[in-house]
Amino acid sequence: MAQTAAASKTVKFIITRQDNPESKAYTEEFEVPYRPGMNVISALMEIQRNPKNAQGQTTSPVCWDSNCLEEVCGACSMVINGKPRQACAALIDKLEQPIRIQPMKTFPVVRDLVIDRSRMFSALKRVKAWIPIDGTYDLGPGPRMAEKKRQWAYELSKCMTCGVCLEACPNVNEKTDFIGPAAISQVRLFNAHPTGELNKEERLEALMQDGGIEGCGNSQNCVRSCPKGIPLTTSIAEMNKETTKHLFKRWLSV
Amino acid sequence: MKGYYSRKLHSLLGVIPLGAFLLSHMISNFQAFEGGKEGFKGAVNLLNSLPLIFFLELFLIWLPLMYHGIYGLYIAYQAKNNIGNYNYERNIRFTVQRITGVITFVFVIWHMYDTRFQIMIGKITHDDLGAVMHDIVSNPVLFVLYIIGVVSATFHFANGLWAFLVSWGITVGPRAQRVSTYICMGLFVFMSVLFILAMTGFRNSEFQAAQAAIDVVKTVLA
Ligand code: SF4
Ligand code: FES
């Protein structure tokens, strides 16, 4: 095994492709010359440069999405050897070959590995994942956040809307309208902010709409998959507590 | 009803009253192991001597069971189980929760047909229950099926209790959830053992009915 790898110095890929959103998916194999330190994106770039499949036939280059190339934008998420992750941070040396690459099918596939993550952005809008500070005059500086709180809130703010947690979740699929873990964790983040807190109830109520927090079935795959190590299940449980409290408060306060 | 409330109700009913009923069922059955025939009879009579038993059964068992069962089937149908790629302990329990839920649903219908339904249509009385159970668990195949059903039910309850604590926001952090895993899984083992002991208790020949009663039971089970 090691010998053949050393002799031919190529990396084998089996890529799931799809020409357009409606067409059927198919797989195509590729063999890319090995370079030390390469990752999945640089291998895809190599295919783009020389679009030949493993059989030597010329084919259309594989499409993918990427921006930052340092695991902070979340655009390059795809399923690599069965697990969703960022392609730019997936080092070839650490992957078993042949490397199987698929799009994250939880999202609509645009083409090949390019997916449409709009549902995540509409989820953020739905839960009002921002802090409303616009007004007609300067309100001056807002209240400060306690350092201890800031530390855990900072962890939550690392979310890059990459979609890995939705892909890993068994309850995010065509049969449900569950918004997924990321947006729930963002409610916790914005409700923790001293100014954001003023609109706390609105966000909680958004989580209590159809497809909200009740969609969580506690498989806890999200927390094991998040590349940013965000404590998603703690966020979800905390929001369970807050929405439960809100529920009783609403009932009891006429 | 809105998803949030219907799901919350589903979670609540699973623990109160259904989980509580399962516990009381376990205790009265265990009498078969500990107190033998008389013990079991006493436990059955005690339950049936509760006031307003009809309404208690209706509101604490029948309606919650139907709601929890049917809505639960829908929840199970919605999941795209993925333990193949994510074989984590928690995810396995997520899938097993759905599988045991379906098994329990079928088992409860079957078990109620053998027991409660036969009483309802007047084929047997409460006093014959011990004999009915004796006949069922004396058949090795049915005995195994009953064990599968009972273990599924206890797992579904104990693991459901774990999920209840999370979805009502009682166990929030990872440590609390871990401790609750130990407690709930301990409860699962404990309950399964007690139920299985109860079933072995029913195998005891003292539960064997008098010949006339056997014929009744046989026609019921046929
Ligand atoms: S929570 Fe983690 S996995 Fe989910 S979208 Fe944000 S960064 Fe990605
Ligand atoms: S390109 Fe931004 S995360 Fe990979």
Give residue-wise pLDDT tens across range A139-170: 788 889 999 999 999 999 999 999 999 999 99
Across A117-135, average pLDDT: 93
CA angle B30, B32, B38 (to 5 degrees): 130
Q: According to the model, what pLDDT value does residue A175 have?
A: 94
Q: What is the CA radius of gyration of chain A?
A: 22
Q: According to the model, what pLDDT value does residue B6 have?
A: 95
Taking CA–CA distances from A206, the nearest residue in chain B reads: B4
* Homologous superfamily of the A118-252 domain (CATH): Alpha-helical ferredoxin (1.10.1060.10)
- Hey, is the C-beta of B55 within 8 angstroms of any chain A C-beta? no
Question: Looking at chain A, which residues constitute the CATH 3.10.20.30 domain(s)?
Answer: 2-115
Between chain A and chain B, the number of residue pairs with CB atoms below 8 A apart is 102
Q: Please say if the pLDDT value at position B186 is more than 90.
A: yes
Contact A218 B95 (CB under 8 A): no
Q: Please say if the pLDDT value at position A176 is more than 90.
A: yes
Minimal CA separation from A214 to chain B, in Å: 5
- Determine if ligand 1 sits within 6 Å of the CB of residue A161: yes
- Hey, is the C-beta of B92 within 8 angstroms of any chain A C-beta? no
Q: pTM for this structure?
A: 0.91
- Determine if ligand 1 sits within 6 Å of the CB of residue A207: no
Residues A242 and B128: their CA atoms lie apart, in Å, by 50
Which structure tokens are listed for A208?
Answer: 């209590």
Across B181-196, average pLDDT: 96
Place of tokens 């998959």: A225
Across B78-83, average pLDDT: 95
**For the ranges A108-112, B100-104, B218-222, which has the lowest average pLDDT?**
B218-222
Query: From ligand 1's centre to the CA of A34, what distance in Å?
Result: 30
Minimal CA separation from B23 to chain A, in Å: 24
Contact A234 B174 (CB under 8 A): yes
User: Which residues 30-59 of A are in CB contact (within 8 Å) with B?
Assistant: none
Give percent of chain A with pLDDT exceeding 70. 96
Of residues A134 and A21, the one with the higher pLDDT is A21
Would you call B89 exposed, middle or buried from its count of C-beta atoms within 10 A (0-12, 13-18, 19+)? Answer: exposed
Of residues B125 and A184, the one with the higher pLDDT is A184
φ, ψ of residue A84 to 5 degrees: the values are: -75, 135
Residues A254 and B74: their CA atoms lie apart, in Å, by 33
Taking CA–CA distances from B1, the nearest residue in chain A reads: A210
CA neighbours within 13 Å on the CB side: how many for B109? Answer: 8
φ, ψ of residue A180 to 5 degrees: the values are: 95, 165
Across B38-53, average pLDDT: 83
The domains found in chain B, sorted by start residue, are 4-209 (1.20.1300.10)
CA distances from A163 to A21, A108, A188 (A): 18, 12, 18
Chain A CB contacts of B82 below 8 Å: 168, 170, 221
Cis peptide preceding A181, ω within 30 of 0: no
Instruction: Give the tens place of pLDDT for each residue, B91-141.
Output: 999 999 999 999 999 999 999 998 888 888 888 888 888 888 888 999 999
CA distances from B82 to A86, A168, A169, A173, B88 (A): 20, 8, 8, 12, 10
Q: According to the model, what pLDDT value does residue B205 have?
A: 77
Across A42-59, average pLDDT: 95
Minimal CA separation from B147 to chain A, in Å: 26
Q: Please say if the pLDDT value at position A98 is more than 60.
A: yes
Minimal CA separation from B158 to chain A, in Å: 15
**DSSP single-letter state for residue A91:** B
Across A204-223, average pLDDT: 96
**DSSP single-letter state for residue B195:** H
**For the ranges A1-10, A117-126, A179-188, B158-167, which has the lowest average pLDDT?**
A1-10
Across B193-213, average pLDDT: 80
- Determine if ligand 2 sits within 6 Å of the CB of residue A67: yes
Q: According to the model, what pLDDT value does residue A96 have?
A: 95
Residues B111 and B101: their CA atoms lie apart, in Å, by 15
Contact B95 A170 (CB under 8 A): yes
**Structure confidence at residue A128 as a pLDDT band (50, 70, 90):** very high
- Hey, is the C-beta of B122 within 8 angstroms of any chain A C-beta? no
Across B16-41, average pLDDT: 88
Taking CA–CA distances from B79, the nearest residue in chain A reads: A171
Q: Please say if the pLDDT value at position A209 is more than 70.
A: yes
A2-115: CATH, from 3.10.20.30, 3.20.20.370, 3.40.50.300, 3.90.280.10:
3.10.20.30
Q: According to the model, what pLDDT value does residue B47 have?
A: 83
**For the ranges A51-60, A63-72, B41-50, which has the lowest average pLDDT?**
B41-50
- Determine if ligand 2 sits within 6 Å of the CB of residue A73: yes
Question: Looking at chain A, which residues constitute the CATH 1.10.1060.10 domain(s)?
Answer: 118-252
Which of B78, B177, B12, B82 lies closest to A232 in space, CA to CA? B177
**Structure confidence at residue A7 as a pLDDT band (50, 70, 90):** low
